[in-house]
Amino acid sequence: MSPRSARLARLSRSVTFSACHRLHSKSLSDEENLKLFGKCNNPNGHGHNYRGGKIDPVSGMVMNLTELKEYMQEAIMEPLDHKNLDKDVPFFSEVV
């Protein structure tokens, strides 16, 4: 297989918007809402940039943003942020 045929690329298009919100279910107690939604349950709300996805029927969320932030920190920021990818990240030592 030639190097040219082995190359892959992914092209996507997304639409985002920014808005303030509060996640709060009237069917849950204040304590349950705080445990499930964390800072997203702030009575005055807070903002995010949003993208679409399948909505969980229990939480009403596409994804728990706190978990996403933690995963991004572990999988992207810690190994890649402020690094020389060619020298500091073994995966990229052989990949352009």
The backbone torsions φ and ψ at residue 8, rounded to the nearest 5 degrees and listed phi first, read -125, 150
Tell me the pLDDT band of 15, cut-offs 50, 70 and 90: very low
pTM, rounded to two decimals = 0.42
Q: Work out whether the CA dihedral 59, 65, 67, 72 comes out positive or negative.
A: positive
Q: State which fold the 19-88 domain adopts.
A: Tetrahydropterin Synthase; Chain A (3.30.479)
| Average pLDDT value for residue range 19-25 | 77
Confidence (pLDDT) at 95? 58
Contact 37, 23 (CB under 8 A): yes
The tokens describing 31, both together, are: 């304590």
Domain residue ranges of the chain, discontinuous segments joined by +: 19-88
**pLDDT tens for residues 49-59?**
666 677 888 88
C-alpha count within 13 angstroms, C-beta hemisphere, residue 12: 5
Confidence (pLDDT) at 18? 60
Cα(51)–Cα(48) distance, rounded to whole angstroms?
Answer: 10
